[in-house]
Every structure is written in structure tokens, then in C-alpha cells.
Copies of this chain bind each other. A is one copy, B any other.
Amino acid sequence: MSVGIRDVARAAGVSTATVSRALGRGPVSDALREQVEAAVRATGYRPNLSARRLRSQATQTIGLIVADIRNPFFTAVSRAVEDAAYQAGMRVILCNTDEDAEREALYLRLMQEERVTGVIFAPTRATAQAMRAGSLDFPVVLIDRSGPPGAHDSVVLDNAAASAALVDHLVAQGYARIGGVFGSTSSTAQERRAGYEAAMGRHGLEPAARACAPNALAAEAEAGRWLAEDGRPEALILSNGLMLMGAVRAARTLALPIPGALALAGFDNEPWTELLDPGLTVIEQPVAEIGAQAMSLLFDRLKSPDQPVRKVVLSGRTVLRGSTRKP
């Protein structure tokens, strides 16, 4: 039924070893290589990757574990990762954890069984802390979020600086009661929160941070509650694109004009943030660069497993738009 390397060998009148060498790299005379290629064409042979992977012990597979591919940030990063991977002749297995530690563990186990070459992972805080350096038998590159220093290579945003930039801008525009709503599951949200608090302190302002699940629904609820209180903030910073959308919704529901009654700023320069009127002030993350760098770190690590752990910190770009105009 299925045509294997033996069939090709028979058709070409050579041994399977020669076929294998002719198709891969190996010393084969031009004449035989010709014959083999003809036989491949004639038989319609397609190598069986499972067999190849088993024998050569090189799966050429990398795992990509993110919270939710529907978050445009992860979508863009994963596209960059996939492009780089396929370019290098590797395939990608994508997994969504929904910020759930149990599923993270499940998928890490799966990666072991797949004998992946390496993994690119955006872990929750809990898992990042728990992951010891050498406990997995493949290298791991953390993206967007990092764990305890020195454990794994990582590529992250300079979150504190980015938050500070937003605060500085809002303060310069004359805002003082600046609140922040940050995700509760990731180290990144924590860093953004810390950066926000530090910057507020630097300006002699009282920080007011709240936390909720890093999605649109939770942020809409949290922001809605907050904005309905007495002494509600004049400006709000949200720690990712989904949450920013939730805040816009909440403001709409409460009929708070932006920036008239509420200034809004956040992370992730998604296309729609520019389309609103006024547009939203955001920190743009270099998404393609993050994905590409992650792959690059992974390849470097594979090449020299013992080199010191590297942490690539990329800067966000502050995109100023109407949502933070002077009140």
C-alpha cells in the first residue's frame, strides 16, 4: 500500500541506505543520486516523518504554549514564531492554557512525550516560579513573562519603563487621580503594576491599583465598578489590549466621554485602538521581534546548552493618541 524507502530502493536498484543518503546529505555518486531521484518521482515516495524522528532522535518540533491564541498579542507572536520555525525546517505544536496552571503542566508533559527540541512558553506566575531550571529535558524560552532570574532564557518587554511612560504622560497632561487595573496571573502584569506604582510615587501621587483576570469581560466589570464609585479615577491604565477594550466598554456603559470624563491608556497597539475616536494611547509591543527573538534564543541555546542564561528586554513604543488629551 504505502510506498516506503524500500520500494524506492528496489525501483532504483540500490540499497535503502543509499536512498536515505541521496535524500539527506551523505556521500552519493551523482549517477546514483540521479537514479534515486527518478525512483522517488516514479513511486511518489514521501518520507515518513514519524519514522525519521524516531530513528534520528531529532524531532524538529518546537512547542509554543500561550494563554490564549485569541489574544492578538499572542496571535502576532505566534505567527512570528511559526514563520521562523518553518523557515528552519521545524514544525510547531500550539497549545492554549487559558492561564490555567493545570493545563500548563499537562502541556509541558505532552511536550516531553513529543520529545520536542525546545519550547517557547508564556507561563502564569505560579508555574514560572515552580519551574526549576533543569527539570525538563528540553530548553525553554519564556516570552512576555519571565520567572526567577537565571532559570530560563526569556524575552520580555521593559514593563516597568512602559508603565512609567504612560504615567509620566498622563501627569504631564495634568491628570492626578490615575488608577490602574492589572492582570492577576502574570509576572508581566505585576511588573507593569510595580512600574506604575513607582512612577506615581515619583510624582508624589497616591497609586491606586486593582487586579482582575486579564480578559475583556473581567476588566469591564472591574472598571465598571470602580468608575461608578465616588472619587473615581480621572484616568485609567489597563495592563493589556483585552482589558483596555473592557474599559472602553465600561466607559461607554456609564456614558463617560473619553477623554472628557476619563482618560484611558494601556498596552498593545491593536489596529482598532487607532480607529476609535479619539484613538487610544497605548504602548506598542514589538510583537514580531518578540517571536523572532524567542526562536533565536532557542536556537542559540540548542547550539550551546551551557552558555549563561540570557534575558532580552525590548522597549515598547509609546503611541500617544487622543484618549489622554488634557482634561
Contacts and interface: CB of A to CB of B under 8 A. Distances in A.
Interface string A257-298: 000000000000011100111000000000000000000000
A79 B270 CA distance: 19
Contacts of A92: 93-94
A216 interface: yes
A69 interface: yes
A157 B160 CA distance: 45
Contact of A54 (B51, B78, B115): B51
A115 B50 contact: yes
Q: What band does the interface of chain A fall in when counting residues whose beta carbon is under 8 Å from B?
A: 35 or more
Contacts of A252: 275
Contacts of A53: 50
Interface string A173-208: 000000000000000000000000000000000000
A48 B95 CA distance: 19
A43 interface: no
A303 interface: no
A13 to B, nearest CB: 24
Given A75-B70, A91-B93, A245-B271, A50 B46 contact: no
Contacts of A300: none
A10 interface: no
Copies of this chain, tallied across the complex: 2
A15 to B, nearest CB: 21
A69 B59 contact: no
A222 interface: no
A107 to B, nearest CB: 9
Contacts of A95: 82, 86
Given A114-B49, A115-B50, A96 B69 contact: no
B82 A94 contact: yes
A76 interface: yes
Nearest to A83: B96
Interface in A94-144: 94-96, 109-110, 112-115, 137
Residue from A49, A72, A113 having most chain B Cβ neighbours under 10 A = A49
Contacts of A216: 271
A305 interface: no
B277 A248 contact: no
**Which 3 pairs, one residue from A and one from B, show the smallest C-beta to C-beta distance?**
A272-B272, A50-B53, A50-B54
Interface of A: 2, 46-51, 53-54, 59, 68-70, 72, 75-76, 78-79, 82-83, 86, 91-96, 109-110, 112-115, 137, 216, 245, 248-249, 252, 270-272, 275-277
13 contacts: A46-B109, A46-B113, A48-B115, A50-B54, A69-B82, A72-B72, A82-B95, A82-B96, A91-B110, A92-B94, A94-B94, A249-B275, A276-B276
